[in-house]
Amino acid sequence: METYPELLGCRVQTLYLDTTYCSPEYTFPRQQEVINFAASTAFELVTLNPRTLVVCGSYSVGKEKVFLALAEVLGV
């Protein structure tokens, strides 16, 4: 952030950091592992029953890679 042209020359009075998930109790799998799991699970379930409806919740941005992986593996 120190090299962002928009911030050069700005004096920061207060900086808030969200450290919600910095605690060691939160150990999340790598993003690619989660994407692969979602894609393989969807593929397996649709293969077993082609009428399976796959629904993905998206309350915010960040799910695009999951959507694309599912679309690719399901051919949709």
Q: What is the maximum alpha-carbon separation in the chain? A: 59
Model confidence at 43: pLDDT above 90? yes
Model confidence at 14: pLDDT above 90? no
Structure tokens at 11: 């004096």
Q: Output the pLDDT for position 61.
A: 63
Q: What is the pTM of this model?
A: 0.60
Angle between helices 31-48 and 64-74 (to 10 degrees): 30
